[in-house]
A and B are shown apart, each in its own frame.
Chain A
Protein backbone atom coordinates (compact mmCIF):
# COMPACT_ATOMS: atom_id res chain seq x y z
CA UNK A 1 0.00 0.00 0.00
CA UNK A 2 1.05 3.59 -0.55
CA UNK A 3 2.85 5.13 2.41
CA UNK A 4 4.83 8.27 3.18
CA UNK A 5 6.89 7.73 6.31
CA UNK A 6 8.61 10.75 7.80
CA UNK A 7 11.55 10.95 10.19
CA UNK A 8 11.23 11.55 13.93
CA UNK A 9 10.72 14.68 16.04
CA UNK A 10 13.51 17.23 16.33
CA UNK A 11 14.52 19.62 19.10
CA UNK A 12 16.88 22.35 17.95
CA UNK A 13 18.32 25.65 19.12
CA UNK A 14 17.91 28.91 17.24
CA UNK A 15 20.53 29.22 14.49
CA UNK A 16 20.91 25.46 14.04
CA UNK A 17 19.84 23.45 10.98
CA UNK A 18 17.52 20.48 10.62
CA UNK A 19 16.91 17.96 7.85
CA UNK A 20 13.75 15.90 7.81
CA UNK A 21 12.92 13.09 5.43
CA UNK A 22 9.87 11.60 3.76
CA UNK A 23 10.26 8.04 2.46
CA UNK A 24 7.72 6.88 -0.09
CA UNK A 25 6.69 3.31 -0.79
CA UNK A 26 4.02 1.47 -2.71
CA UNK A 27 4.26 3.49 -5.92
CA UNK A 28 6.79 4.78 -8.44
CA UNK A 29 8.38 7.72 -6.64
CA UNK A 30 9.21 9.72 -9.74
CA UNK A 31 5.63 9.60 -11.06
CA UNK A 32 4.28 12.06 -8.48
CA UNK A 33 5.39 15.44 -7.20
CA UNK A 34 5.94 15.95 -3.48
CA UNK A 35 4.68 18.92 -1.50
CA UNK A 36 5.81 20.27 1.85
CA UNK A 37 3.22 21.79 4.20
CA UNK A 38 3.78 23.62 7.51
CA UNK A 39 1.39 23.58 10.45
CA UNK A 40 2.31 25.79 13.40
CA UNK A 41 0.93 24.68 16.79
CA UNK A 42 -2.84 25.14 16.88
CA UNK A 43 -2.86 26.75 13.43
CA UNK A 44 -3.91 25.86 9.91
CA UNK A 45 -2.02 24.46 6.95
CA UNK A 46 0.46 26.50 4.94
CA UNK A 47 1.86 25.38 1.59
CA UNK A 48 5.64 25.64 1.46
CA UNK A 49 6.23 24.46 -2.09
CA UNK A 50 6.87 21.30 -4.05
CA UNK A 51 9.58 19.32 -5.75
CA UNK A 52 9.41 17.62 -9.11
CA UNK A 53 10.54 14.12 -8.23
CA UNK A 54 11.45 13.35 -11.84
CA UNK A 55 13.71 16.34 -12.50
CA UNK A 56 14.55 17.35 -8.93
CA UNK A 57 13.46 20.94 -9.55
CA UNK A 58 12.06 22.62 -6.43
CA UNK A 59 9.51 25.42 -6.31
CA UNK A 60 9.20 27.50 -3.14
CA UNK A 61 6.35 29.65 -1.90
CA UNK A 62 7.51 33.22 -1.24
CA UNK A 63 7.60 32.82 2.56
CA UNK A 64 9.91 29.83 2.22
CA UNK A 65 12.63 31.18 -0.06
CA UNK A 66 16.15 31.39 1.36
CA UNK A 67 16.46 29.13 4.41
CA UNK A 68 14.46 26.18 3.09
CA UNK A 69 15.76 23.54 0.69
CA UNK A 70 13.86 20.66 -0.87
CA UNK A 71 15.96 17.77 -2.14
CA UNK A 72 15.68 14.17 -3.23
CA UNK A 73 17.38 10.84 -2.76
CA UNK A 74 15.50 9.35 -5.71
CA UNK A 75 17.28 6.01 -5.47
CA UNK A 76 15.84 5.72 -1.96
CA UNK A 77 12.41 7.14 -2.90
CA UNK A 78 12.97 9.88 -0.34
CA UNK A 79 12.26 13.59 -0.31
CA UNK A 80 14.02 15.84 2.17
CA UNK A 81 13.39 19.25 3.69
CA UNK A 82 16.30 21.15 5.18
CA UNK A 83 15.83 24.32 7.21
CA UNK A 84 18.88 26.39 8.10
CA UNK A 85 19.37 29.19 10.64
CA UNK A 86 16.31 28.00 12.59
CA UNK A 87 14.09 30.61 14.25
CA UNK A 88 11.49 30.23 16.98
CA UNK A 89 8.74 30.71 14.40
CA UNK A 90 9.90 27.58 12.58
CA UNK A 91 8.43 25.54 15.45
CA UNK A 92 5.79 23.50 13.68
CA UNK A 93 4.80 20.15 12.28
CA UNK A 94 6.01 19.62 8.73
CA UNK A 95 4.12 17.31 6.41
CA UNK A 96 5.01 15.87 3.05
CA UNK A 97 2.11 15.18 0.69
CA UNK A 98 1.98 13.50 -2.70
CA UNK A 99 0.66 14.73 -6.00
CA UNK A 100 1.04 17.88 -8.09
CA UNK A 101 -2.55 19.08 -7.65
CA UNK A 102 -4.03 16.32 -5.51
CA UNK A 103 -2.50 15.95 -1.99
CA UNK A 104 -3.81 12.40 -1.96
CA UNK A 105 -1.35 10.83 0.49
CA UNK A 106 0.31 12.49 3.48
CA UNK A 107 3.18 11.66 5.77
CA UNK A 108 2.49 11.46 9.49
CA UNK A 109 4.27 14.78 10.06
CA UNK A 110 7.48 15.76 11.85
CA UNK A 111 7.34 18.04 14.87
CA UNK A 112 10.27 20.46 14.88
CA UNK A 113 10.72 22.45 18.08
CA UNK A 114 13.09 25.42 18.13
CA UNK A 115 13.96 26.56 21.62
CA UNK A 116 16.97 27.94 23.41
Chain B
Protein backbone atom coordinates (compact mmCIF):
# COMPACT_ATOMS: atom_id res chain seq x y z
CA UNK B 1 0.00 0.00 0.00
CA UNK B 2 1.05 3.59 -0.63
CA UNK B 3 2.11 5.39 2.55
CA UNK B 4 1.59 9.15 2.66
CA UNK B 5 3.71 10.97 5.22
CA UNK B 6 2.59 14.47 6.15
CA UNK B 7 4.83 17.02 7.84
CA UNK B 8 4.66 18.75 10.15
CA UNK B 9 2.04 16.97 12.27
CA UNK B 10 1.16 20.26 13.92
CA UNK B 11 1.54 23.78 12.59
CA UNK B 12 1.11 26.97 14.62
CA UNK B 13 0.41 30.12 12.68
CA UNK B 14 -0.74 33.69 13.16
CA UNK B 15 -3.50 35.23 11.09
CA UNK B 16 -2.05 36.44 7.82
CA UNK B 17 0.98 34.17 7.95
CA UNK B 18 1.76 31.94 4.97
CA UNK B 19 2.31 28.25 5.71
CA UNK B 20 3.10 25.04 3.83
CA UNK B 21 2.30 21.40 4.48
CA UNK B 22 4.25 18.56 2.90
CA UNK B 23 2.89 15.19 1.76
CA UNK B 24 5.47 12.62 0.73
CA UNK B 25 4.44 9.37 -0.94
CA UNK B 26 6.21 5.99 -0.69
CA UNK B 27 5.85 5.61 -4.46
CA UNK B 28 5.14 7.79 -7.45
CA UNK B 29 1.52 8.91 -7.75
CA UNK B 30 1.75 9.41 -11.52
CA UNK B 31 -0.94 7.19 -13.06
CA UNK B 32 -0.36 5.41 -16.37
CA UNK B 33 -3.00 7.74 -17.87
CA UNK B 34 -0.78 10.75 -17.16
CA UNK B 35 -2.79 12.11 -14.22
CA UNK B 36 -1.54 12.38 -10.64
CA UNK B 37 -4.37 11.68 -8.23
CA UNK B 38 -3.34 13.59 -5.13
CA UNK B 39 -6.00 15.59 -3.30
CA UNK B 40 -6.02 17.82 -0.24
CA UNK B 41 -8.85 17.92 2.31
CA UNK B 42 -9.59 20.15 5.31
CA UNK B 43 -11.50 18.87 8.31
CA UNK B 44 -12.66 21.64 10.62
CA UNK B 45 -13.48 20.67 14.22
CA UNK B 46 -16.69 18.67 14.40
CA UNK B 47 -17.18 18.75 10.64
CA UNK B 48 -16.73 16.26 7.82
CA UNK B 49 -13.71 16.76 5.56
CA UNK B 50 -14.07 19.03 2.56
CA UNK B 51 -12.18 18.88 -0.71
CA UNK B 52 -9.79 21.79 -1.27
CA UNK B 53 -7.54 20.68 -4.12
CA UNK B 54 -7.58 17.77 -6.56
CA UNK B 55 -5.15 16.50 -9.18
CA UNK B 56 -2.28 18.09 -7.22
CA UNK B 57 -3.06 21.71 -8.01
CA UNK B 58 -6.66 22.20 -9.18
CA UNK B 59 -8.72 24.33 -6.83
CA UNK B 60 -12.15 22.92 -5.99
CA UNK B 61 -15.01 25.26 -6.81
CA UNK B 62 -15.70 27.74 -4.02
CA UNK B 63 -12.33 27.28 -2.32
CA UNK B 64 -10.44 30.57 -1.76
CA UNK B 65 -7.42 31.10 -3.97
CA UNK B 66 -5.13 31.58 -0.97
CA UNK B 67 -4.92 27.77 -1.13
CA UNK B 68 -2.58 26.29 -3.70
CA UNK B 69 -1.12 22.87 -4.37
CA UNK B 70 2.05 21.82 -6.13
CA UNK B 71 4.34 18.88 -6.60
CA UNK B 72 4.88 15.80 -8.70
CA UNK B 73 5.88 12.16 -8.38
CA UNK B 74 6.31 11.58 -4.66
CA UNK B 75 6.52 15.08 -3.18
CA UNK B 76 3.57 17.41 -2.79
CA UNK B 77 2.89 20.67 -0.99
CA UNK B 78 -0.18 22.57 0.11
CA UNK B 79 0.38 26.27 0.67
CA UNK B 80 -1.91 28.73 2.40
CA UNK B 81 -1.00 32.32 1.49
CA UNK B 82 -2.30 34.30 4.42
CA UNK B 83 -3.98 32.09 7.02
CA UNK B 84 -7.46 33.10 8.10
CA UNK B 85 -9.30 31.96 11.23
CA UNK B 86 -11.62 29.71 9.19
CA UNK B 87 -8.60 27.73 7.93
CA UNK B 88 -7.97 26.12 11.30
CA UNK B 89 -8.42 22.36 11.45
CA UNK B 90 -6.72 19.21 10.21
CA UNK B 91 -5.42 18.92 6.67
CA UNK B 92 -5.16 15.55 4.94
CA UNK B 93 -3.63 14.50 1.67
CA UNK B 94 -5.22 11.48 -0.05
CA UNK B 95 -4.05 9.50 -3.05
CA UNK B 96 -6.28 7.68 -5.50
CA UNK B 97 -3.70 6.54 -8.03
CA UNK B 98 -2.91 3.13 -6.51
CA UNK B 99 -5.51 0.90 -4.85
CA UNK B 100 -6.18 0.90 -1.99
CA UNK B 101 -6.66 4.65 -1.71
CA UNK B 102 -4.79 6.00 1.32
CA UNK B 103 -4.78 9.11 3.48
CA UNK B 104 -1.90 10.93 5.07
CA UNK B 105 -1.79 11.12 8.84
CA UNK B 106 -2.97 14.72 8.93
CA UNK B 107 -1.53 18.12 9.83
CA UNK B 108 -3.28 20.13 12.51
CA UNK B 109 -3.23 23.88 11.86
CA UNK B 110 -3.72 25.91 15.01
CA UNK B 111 -3.44 29.54 16.06
CA UNK B 112 -0.18 30.65 17.63
Contacts and interface: CB of A to CB of B under 8 A. Distances in A.
Interface of A: 35, 44-47, 49, 59, 61-62, 95, 97, 100-109
Contacts of B103: 44-47
B69 interface: no
Chain A interface helix/strand/loop/mixed:
loop
Interface residues of B, number: 22
A46 B43 CA distance: 14
B60 interface: yes
B71 interface: no
A102 B51 contact: yes
A87 B68 CA distance: 41
Interface centre among A35, A45, A105, A107 (most CB of B within 10 A): A45
B51 A47 contact: no
A102 B54 contact: yes
